[in-house]
Structure 1
């Protein structure tokens, strides 16, 4: 391994890189190399690496390379075979260095990982030791008899056996790259010897940087679907391995889709962190405390619907008719407009770069996706589109520089609005789970009507998390009876809210029906936090026993209910019996 021999080992011996730093920079990298190498070794046993191949079309003799790769196997699959069996193989097991630090990182990263089919290989690796003074035995590869590509060749079975085992290792590698890149950049910024060795290494490898080597495992796996597809096209449908190859193709595609998703999420997370550091909040030019609507906006966190916030689209657009240029950011819960505070003509190259002085300033309060009705293309201008909202009388008119960019924005906004509506309904559905058994009573005949006036609450107790994220508490009360949930408006900046909000529910069983009461702190950018709750039966709030209450006139009464944390809620109640 050129990286291990020419980079890691010299820097470790010179104490420029510690063992811990090696583990941080190359986490899981060796494991991916081992997985791919094990796969290729499995092909070595299955496929005969012939000295000669003849084409049935022109009879040209071809000498095939003795290297196990999907591209070579794909080549073999296209040509009829007429050759002798060769027992000569080349091992593709990465050379294991005897440096103690390299042995340690390979051991910790799982380099000794064996796939489900590895018992078929004669390759033995033993690196389960941490003694710096000991040396591992040299790995050997003792070939068995190999086969030409014919009815007994099982390429698909090998792929189906190996590809699923790669998923977790690739996920771990992708998840660790963001932090590894930060560690890499920090080391390069602080250590001149490290920077010098990086340049020397790149010169020795013909211009390929260390990062180029670290991305090779991902580049290799992205080629698998293409190569397997070629094998599939040159495999007869009645071949015994055809269905396995087809299944392997689907598995490789799924693996790449999941890897792409991981990479996208990592990139989004990195960009959210960048915005947190480079976006100025509030009217104060020097304000960067991150508060909007008295709530601390953490970009890289869960949004109001309890799902991770994602940056979906960003770019420069122009607000019409003022002609003001704005840098817009579309998230999965709101649309944010900003201006470029620091004077910079090349802001495009500085956006999301770690080493930059670029600063952005919020232009206006975020436009929540729940307040957007629709985005439409303009009929009069191929570059203009409008956003119709629930909060502004006139549509917001925006202009892009290209028609395809306008189409991209309109589609992205409308899709994000739809997804946000689905997420909002999902939150409401989750809250209604505890009433599932009571919903069955809705098919019965109601026996009474419960009229409530939710008046006020006392001594609400925000959690420490709430106090850290908010300058104030904006409470609202939510009450569920049966399948119906109603809530009061939220009151800003108080722990003693007065709502005086009327509600009405139907009762189907005066003994069994329950009343679920929750008080939440209204959030804009994070999940609403509970400030207190209780569950009661109707009999718990009646001024007298139920049998006596039913004999009395239906008069209003007031009750003070204590919640789980000692806070209390005052309600005025009326129970009206319904005649059948």
Structure 2
């Protein structure tokens, strides 16, 4: 109701077009940096393909095989990163400044490539053969702005760390420190449309995981490729001439500098993506994807590092198998230790792949004898060598006559109590064991190396103890699912003596691995597992080992029996097993047995493979 003489004024909201949120300059800059550095990296890949691989092949300076030995899967890397770059550029409406390329000629990057087909690089189209409909946003690297700008820079290439510096390093950072400087930074002549709504997270999440295998192949073979590269430099004059031509074209950056760029690039992804994430609001639509992309980039590096580490460890274990002799000790000869063939590259007794954790030169105190120490995840081994002057350059080399000889028996980590730094000498440390009266005194050449040995040994011992406990809890040939029950509910106590076994025969495969059988018996009732000591070198062991178990049901309780061959360097071999209900073990029906339960009785049990086990039992009823 409106009163007379009163004018009602109503204020209506003004409708305006929706406004975009202002772009964060830092986020725009971070995205631009990611794309521009990816562009420069792809350009660098093409520089090598066009200015080095192609001339080498055209002039037949190197064969296809030799090219692959040096450049590995370079063409596959071009395909992977060109695809990623194309997707990123499309997302930001990337446009190359046509005036920045000679004659306005652009080149399409390849979309796919075979892992080993080096011919793809040699078939890259030249400037004159590219039609307008095949042009893309990637300039041909022979005449790219990147290459022209590089000519104005003189870049010093840092040499990679020597093997001597890495010989004693426990966990090598295979993809850590860059070994050559990045490409010179220049102002991009391209335009991009980057605003607050720009999303690149999904693109990165799609492409980064697919890079693992190819970058692992490249990074893992780079060290050997460098040796092939150096061999060609030393022996092929035409190859050296081509290197000089290439270096002149790139303004001083050597081919080695370019060959390390894939390793640098894959380690740089987490840093670049983290910068984008830092400047992306948690409320942004791309925040979750960018965060996931950062995790993908980190996992990419972790997986490559892990695969390289495993491959390196495997090759080193194989090398030790060929170059370590075991001497004439009564416990070791012809590759056998304690009558067991030691295969370095195999599972250890804890069902874990054996790994070489640390190695290096140590001196025995007080004699000063030079030893090479090898710490594995199940034992510690020392070896002697004829000369220590050049061991760093010969150790683990494929083509070498370098030989090692076992120095005493290996020390199992389960026998090591602790490793300690010496209080009187900054270079000396000691290893206290259960099997030697006096600690083993060793000396290193550097304080940090001593610290590394002590820390690595103690960590390995701790992890070995954890692995051993898990094996003891494992029921091997069977699984016990019942929970541990309260002792108050037990109805009887079983006093059991494991007397002897007969006709134990190892499997044919196991017979090749060891010269004798060292059997022990393991018995499980409910949640409790007990075992005998192992008898040495016999297929007819006599243990006479007493055991005691609580029984909860005189009919349904099950006795699980396993006999194993005790191994030192590999998983224990099962020599026979069986499971039997307690009611079937009784010498007479249960109602009759209950009238005289305390009398002992002996039973001969047959195992699954024909072997037999003799046990003596006494059942004592518990009063409620």
- TM-score w.r.t. the length of structure 1 is 0.76
Give the equivalent residue in structure 1 for 2:325: 280
Are residue 441 (structure 1) and residue 485 (structure 2) matched?
yes
Cα 1:388–1:103 change in 2 (3 A) is closer
1:245 paired to 2:290: yes
Judge which range, 200-209 or 498-507, deviates more: 200-209
Q: 8 Å contact 1:151–1:240 — kept in the other structure?
A: no
SS state at 1:327 partner:
strand
Give the 3 Å change call, closer, same or farther, for CA 541–64 of structure 1 in structure 2: farther
Query: Is 1:563–2:579 an aligned residue pair?
Result: no
Contact 2:274 2:294 (C-alpha < 8 Å) held by counterparts: yes
Distance 1:95 1:557, change over 3 A: closer
The Cα of 1:492 is off from its aligned counterpart by 1.4
Alignment of 1:340-419 (within 5 A): 340=385, 342-419=386-463
Report the Cα offset of residue 529 of structure 1. 0.9
After superposition, what is the alpha-carbon deviation per residue over 1:410-464, rounded to whole angstroms, capped at 9, x for unaligned? 1111111111111112222332795543334346511111111111111111112
Q: Does 1:509 align with 2:525?
A: no
Aligned residue for 1:339? 384
Could you report, residue by residue, the CA deviation over 1:384-427 in whole angstroms, capped at 9, with x for unpaired residues? 22222121222222222221111111111111111111111222
Computing the radius of gyration over CA atoms, which structure comes out larger, 1 or 2?
Answer: 2
The partner residue of 2:351 within 306, 321, 345 is 306
Q: Give yes or no for contact 2:68–2:118 (8 Å, CA) kept in 1.
A: no
Q: Does the 8 Å CA contact 2:233/2:239 hold for their aligned counterparts?
A: no
Alignment of 1:412-561 (within 5 A): 412-431=456-475, 434=478, 436-442=480-486, 445-561=489-605
Query: More displaced, 398-407 or 1-10?
Result: 1-10
* 2:17 equivalent in structure 1: none
Contact 1:442 1:508 in 2 (8 A): no
Aligned residues of 2:491 and 2:622 also touching (Cα < 8 A): yes
Q: Deviation string for 1:529-565 (max 9, x for gaps)? A: 1111111111222211222211225212111111111
Q: CA deviation at 1:269?
A: 1.2
Aligned to 1:222: 267
The corresponding residue for 1:289 is 334
Distance 1:35 1:18, change over 3 A: closer
Q: Deviation digits for residues 511-542 of structure 1, max 9, x if unmatched?
A: 11111111111111111111111111112222
Aligned 1:16-415 pairs, distance under 5 A: 30-49=75-94, 91=107, 93-94=109-110, 105-106=116-117, 140=134, 147-171=192-216, 177=221, 202=243, 205-206=246-247, 216-233=261-278, 240-283=285-328, 289-340=334-385, 342-415=386-459
Q: CA deviation at 1:268?
A: 1.2
Deviation at 1:353, TM superposition (A): 1.5
Q: Distance in 2 between matches of 1:25 and 1:524?
A: 42
Structure 1 distance, partners of 2:343, 2:394, is: 22
1: distance between equivalents of 2:58 and 2:468?
A: 52
| Distance in 2 of aligned mates of 1:12 and 1:541 | 83
CA distance in 1 between partners of 2:262 and 2:528 (Å): 53
Alpha carbons of structure 1 residues 41 and 498: separation in structure 2 relative to 1, 3 Å: same
Aligned 8 A contact 2:75 2:115 in 1: no
1:252-306 CA distances to partner (integer Å, 9 max, x unpaired)?
Answer: 1221112111111111111111111111113279x97211111111111111111
- The answer (yes or no) to whether the contact 1:435–1:482 under 8 Å persists in 2 is no
The answer as to whether partners of 2:566 and 2:573 remain within 8 angstroms in 1 is yes
1:73 paired residue number: none
Do the aligned partners of residues 158 and 104 (structure 1) sit closer, same or farther apart at CA in structure 2, a change above 3 Å counting? closer
SS in 2 for 1:385: strand
Task: Tell me if the contact between 2:557 and 2:581 (Cα under 8 Å) persists in the aligned partners.
Answer: yes
How far 1:322 sits from its partner (Å)? 2.4
Which residue matches 2:180? none
* Greater Cα shift, 292-301 or 193-202: 193-202
- How big is the shift at 1:30? 4.2
Q: C-alpha separation between the residues in 2 aligned to 1:472 and 1:209?
A: 59
Alpha-carbon shift at residue 349 of structure 1 (Å):
1.7
Aligned to 2:155: none
Q: Give, in angstroms, the shift of residue 213 of structure 1.
A: 7.0
Once residues 464 and 192 of structure 1 are traced to their aligned partners in structure 2, the CA distance between those partners, rounded to angstroms, is 51
Q: Secondary structure at the match of 2:515?
A: coil
1: distance between equivalents of 2:133 and 2:321? 49
**Deviation of the 1:338 alpha carbon:** 1.2
3-state SS of paired residue (1:524): coil
* SS in structure 2 of the partner of residue 437 of structure 1: coil
Deviations 1:218-239 (A, max 9, x none): 4421121122234445556665
5+ unaligned residues in a row in structure 1: which ranges? 53-62, 67-87, 97-101, 112-124, 126-136
Closer/same/farther in 2, CA of residues 419 and 284 from structure 1, 3 Å limit: closer
Q: CA deviation at 1:166?
A: 2.6
Shifted more, 523-532 versus 147-156: the winner is 147-156
Query: Kindly tell me: are residues 538 and 288 of structure 1, through their superposed partners in 2, closer, same or farther at Cα, counting changes over 3 Å?
Result: closer
Report the equivalent of 1:70: none
Distance change in 2, residues 1:204/1:15 (3 Å): closer
